[in-house]
Amino acid sequence: MKDGPDIARIAALIGDPARANMLTALMDGRALTATELSQIAGVTPQTASAHLARLGQGGLIRQRKQGRHRYAELASPEVAGVLEALMGLATTSGHLRRRPGPRDAQLRRARVCYDHLAGEMGTQMFDTMLARGHLFRREDEIVLTEPGSDFTRDFLGPETQTRSRAPLCRECLDWSDRRSHLAGRLGRAMLARMIALGWARRAEGSRVIRFTPDGERQFQALFSS
């Protein structure tokens, strides 16, 4: 096909192993320097800068300068969604770079996907909110219902009232669970609230979300079917 979206260009940008490692590292929503990303990708800082320039030109990342450093971050939640879906495809197809280990189990249980909760606990929250009528599938979108508005207002307070051009609710395919979890402004707010309540914290240098024993109990009380 000569006309239409050029998926080959995007695929080529993601397909380089060093660039793929950089993009994956940015999946936890942090902004990282070229030096940090070079260490993750196993290339020199100069090579990392060249890769980042290509990713920026391709619209997959954005860079900003602060002080003496330039920081890179994913360009949008849509980029994170594509990467998450590709991880799911790679997992299903058996394309794994290493054998599963303890960290894999933690990632599968609960992790951050750009800015929202993913893994088993993320899909559990999404499924429970659907089952209870807090969320509703309407054609190709996810809608927050009136009972859902009451529920999230009680849990989040005024957080749900913030205005943004970003979608309130968005479905994101989970790479490890092969089901959907909740993204969008609501997904981001739900994870932020759990962290603010002390239920969970982000593991340093990892996408893993660790729930405390009490946080796990509170989560299960709220999102058990």
Whether 1 is covered by a domain: the verdict is no
Residue 1 scores a pLDDT above 60: no
- The reply to whether 160 and 63 lie within a common domain is no
Task: Return the DSSP state at 157.
Answer: G
- The reply to whether 202 and 160 lie within a common domain is yes
Specify the long-range contacts of residues 89-93, CB closer than 8 Å, at least 24 apart: 90/175, 91/175, 91/176, 92/178
- The reply to whether 154 and 122 lie within a common domain is yes
Strand partners, 211: 200
Whether 199 is covered by a domain: the verdict is yes
Domain boundary, last residue among 57, 75, 93: 75
Residue 55 scores a pLDDT above 80: yes
- The reply to whether 111 and 22 lie within a common domain is no
Domain boundary, last residue among 20, 51, 75: 75
- The reply to whether 57 and 88 lie within a common domain is no
Whether 93 is covered by a domain: the verdict is yes
Q: How many CB atoms lie within 10 A of CB 138?
A: 7
- The reply to whether 188 and 123 lie within a common domain is yes
Q: What is the mean pLDDT of the chain?
A: 87
Residue 73 scores a pLDDT above 50: yes
- Local confidence band at 102 (pLDDT 50, 70, 90 cut-offs): very low
Task: Return the pLDDT at 107.
Answer: 87
pTM listed for this prediction: 0.71
Whether 116 is covered by a domain: the verdict is yes
- Local confidence band at 194 (pLDDT 50, 70, 90 cut-offs): very high
Q: How many domains does the chain have?
A: 2
- The reply to whether 122 and 217 lie within a common domain is yes
Tell me the residue range of the domain where 53 lies: 7-75
Task: Return the pLDDT at 199.
Answer: 97
- Local confidence band at 100 (pLDDT 50, 70, 90 cut-offs): very low
How far is 174 from 224, CA to CA, in rounded Å?
19
- The reply to whether 58 and 115 lie within a common domain is no
- The reply to whether 125 and 177 lie within a common domain is yes
Residue 159 scores a pLDDT above 60: no
Task: Return the pLDDT at 217.
Answer: 96
Residue 38 scores a pLDDT above 90: yes
Domain boundary, last residue among 40, 56, 75: 75
